[in-house]
Amino acid sequence: DTEVTQTPKHLVMGMTNKKSLKCEQHMGHRAMYWYKQKAKKPPELMFVYSYEKLSINESVPSRFSPECPNSSLLNLHLHALQPEDSALYLCASSPFLNTGELFFGEGSRLTVL
Amino acid sequence: KNEVEQSPQNLTAQEGEFITINCSYSVGISALHWLQQHPGGGIVSLFMLSSGKKKHGRLIATINIQEKHSSLHITASHPRDSAVYICAQTGAGSYQLTFGKGTKLSVIP
């Protein structure tokens, strides 16, 4: 299994809603990443987890809250988002931090009304 | 500051043509990645290179460490190859991927 699975594929939420994005991989990778991608722009790194611990937070607003419950699962909890947070949210994993090939998910397309 | 430059930004080809996309970077790398993204879709990792050349099907990726340059070649291009191709690199000792702006490829039947 060489897949990174993201759910949901599409999400529409209001600014007062609380929702979550989920990412799962079963490749035994110990590094997992959240990226945000706006239209026609390259992805921007948000968070990095290594061995289920948050290693990097790229100054992301607190309305985005990551969680890594186990080595296969990575969540991104969303609360009080703004319309400008509408984007494609991509999850990726690699065997270890800085090492090995990156595997990306298909992304979750988020629209904030 | 690490920079990754891709060329061309846009490329239109007839089906069957040989395609080359170029990538230049400014600092030493630990790895260079070629990625593919279809419209509205997620990203697929095509290659990860630190030296030499790799081939997978009709795709070939090469890298010249001394010249800080990599190329992605597509032989016998097909309309399903139409996508954005992104070059990205991790610098030596860094976790951070630096992305190029991408090359939008359109292959016309």
DSSP B73-108: EESS--GGG-EEEEEEEEETT--PEEEP--EEEEEE
- A43 in reach of chain B (CB within 8 A): yes
* The pLDDT value given to residue B29: 77
CA distance A98 to chain B (A): 5
The verdict on a CB contact (< 8 Å) between B43 and A104 is: yes
* The pLDDT value given to residue B72: 98
How far is the C-alpha of A107 from the C-alpha of B100, rounded, in Å?
Answer: 19
A28-75 pLDDT tens trace: 999 999 999 999 899 999 999 999 999 888 889 999 999 999 999 999
The verdict on a CB contact (< 8 Å) between B43 and A90 is: yes
* The pLDDT value given to residue B41: 82
Task: Give which of B20, B8, B3 is closest to B100, Cα–Cα.
Answer: B3
Strand locations in A26-86 (E): 31-37, 44-50, 53-57, 64-70, 73-79
- B106 Cβ contact partners less than 8 Å away, ≥ 6 residues apart: B10, B11, B12, B13, B82
* Token pair listed for B28: 């030493």
Give helix then strand counts, H and E, for chain A: 0, 11
CA distance B61 to chain A (A): 15
When pLDDT is averaged across residues A8-28 and rounded to a whole number, the result is 95
Q: Residue B93: its chain A contacts at CB < 8 A? A: 98
A94-105 pLDDT tens trace: 998 877 788 999
Between these two residues, A1 and A26, which has the higher pLDDT value? A26
Task: Give which of B32, B38, B37, B81 is closest to B54, Cα–Cα.
Answer: B32
CA distance B76 to chain A (A): 26
Residue stretches of chain B with pLDDT short of 70: 1
* The pLDDT value given to residue A31: 94
